[in-house]
Amino acid sequence: MSATIVDVSQPITDHEVNAIRRDFPALLESVNGEPLAYLDSAATAQRPHAVLDAERHFLEHHNAAVHRGAHTLAGLATEAYEDARSTVAAFVGAGPDEVVWTANATDALNLVAYGFANASHGRGGAAARRFALAPGDEIVVTEAEHHANLVPWQELAAVTGATLRFIPVNDSGVYSVGDAAAVLSSRTRIVALAHVSNVTGFVAPVAEIVALAHARGALVVLDACQSAPHRALDLPGLGVDFAAFSGHKMLGPTGIGVLYGRAELLDALPPFRTGGSMISTVTMTDADYLPAPQRFEAGTPPVSQAIALAEAVRYLQRIGLDRIERREELLAERMLVGLAGIPGIRTIGPGLGVPRAGLVSFDVDGVHGHDVGQYLDARGIAVRVGHHCAQPLHRRLGLISSTRASAYMYTTTDEVDRLLGSAHEVRRYFGAA
């Protein structure tokens, strides 16, 4: 990216976006004869050359198994791999031992849930007893969660006898601190919530909920999938106990996710997957586990992916997370105002003036989501349609599916305007207006 960064408190300018876009080869694609307008970054982001190059350079020159070898390449690979951990840890304000590589964010959330389950089954020794759940204990989630931050807790409740409760959302799909306070109690052991909703763009009052939870002795698990890529994060500062996010939504590869956990908790949580590289001594009957993060990284980890993810983080830092957030706020506002002004279109989530992430989901009266998506696709506009892995939220809002347009640092104002233009026409095309 060749743009000169001027004021870190200002949104990225249109001019800078044009420079940034040259770093992303996939943004040059055409779709159905139209230039691609990629408005699906909340599902997966595109990758800049720098990230692709970093991974390839590693694979062409330093590729080896990490942590197990004494030879030079293995040493170089291990160093690059652990440096990547430090880079990503620092990105969220954490120490390197507080960051575990996982397969994706879903895997990270399952790791925590299975840690609790294993502790409940008596695994992990005395240190793990604090994680054991039993009937009477409660796990609290919100009604707006992605399935990744819901179904693992359902399973945990099912195998431990704990009760799953939820913080309900209102007709806009959002909830307040008061709504949370009404559900949390001294029986609450875990509160799991999304930092930013992938459907509504709602930014959760995390610090307030952490305070409520900790006052009741509960641990907080944050789904940071939609925040880590788009805003500066200080996880220890937020006070959450665990947090999860995915590489592929933040310019990095698929095949890698991140679990953050407070050091003290990670060292006490029983392992999830077991196997090589996470043990110290193994006999035919027993195994001793290494401290975190190694105890959670069984087998050959996503080495080149970690290195690529660290490069993605450096790329984000070069642009500036605050500037990305500001830019996306402007784009979200433009989408929201534009869409809300179209007859027959209902937007979901917080209204104007309330902080929201750079995405807007909406329902087109009388036209099925897949038809909306197909219509936009014919114009080169890539959006997501469906329940976005949040069926309970859609059910609560009286919908089966919605259409979601999501922006990233490389999204142009023109792309948003193309979306708005086509959204104007879609109901007429399908005879709904």
Partner 1 sequence: MSDSLANLYQQVILDHARQRIGYGQLDHADAERFERNPTCGDEVMVRLALEQGTDRIASLAWQGAGCSISTASASVLAQLAEGLTLTELQSKIDAFRAMLRERGDVEPDEDVLGDAVAFQGVSKYVMRVKCAMLPWVAAEACRGSLT
- Catalytic-residue membership of 225: no
Pairing of strands 257-261, 242-246: antiparallel
Chain residues 143-162 in contact with ligand PLP, contact rule CB under 6 A: 146, 148-149
β-pair partners for 257: 102, 246
Q: Describe the crossing of helices 303-319 and 72-91 by its angle, rounded to 10 degrees.
A: 40
Interface with ligand PLP (CB under 6 A), residue from 25, 161, 237, 276: 276
104 binds ligand PLP (CB under 6 A): yes
Q: What is the DSSP letter of 24?
A: -
CA dihedral sign of residues 302, 61, 84, 296: positive
**What single letter denotes the amino acid at residue 254?**
T
Instruction: Report the candidate in 204, 210, 209, 253 with the shortest Cα–Cα distance to residue 224.
Output: 204
Per CB under 8 A, does 79 bind partner 1? yes
> Choosing among ligand PLP, a second copy, partner 1, none, which partner's interface includes residue 161 (Cβ < 5 to 8 Å by kind)?
none
Tokens of 60: 């062409």
Choices 111-119, 208-216, 328-336, 378-386 (CB under 8 A): range interacting with partner 1: 378-386
Q: Which is nearer to partner 1, 211 or 432 (CB)?
A: 432
- What is the nearest approach in angstroms of ligand PLP to the Cβ of residue 230? 11
Comparing CB distances to ligand PLP, the nearer of 1 and 244 is 244
Residue 118 sits in the site that holds a second copy (CB under 8 A): yes
Q: Which of residues 393-412 bind ligand PLP (CB under 6 A)?
A: none
Cα(263)–Cα(95) distance, integer angstroms: 8
Which residues between 219 and 238 bind ligand PLP (CB under 6 A)? 223, 225-226
* Catalytic residue selected from 287, 389, 432, 433: 389
Q: How far apart are CA 267 and CA 22, in angstroms?
A: 43
Give the residue from 420, 417, 249 showing the smallest Cα distance to 347.
420
**Among 104, 198, 185, which residue's Cα sits nearest to residue 152?**
104
Q: Which residues bind partner 1 (CB under 8 A)?
A: 32-34, 67-70, 74-75, 78-79, 280-281, 290, 367-371, 374-375, 378-380, 385-387, 391, 400-401, 429-431
Q: Which residues bind ligand PLP (CB under 6 A)?
A: 104-106, 146, 148-149, 194, 198, 223, 225-226, 246, 257, 276, 299-300, 389
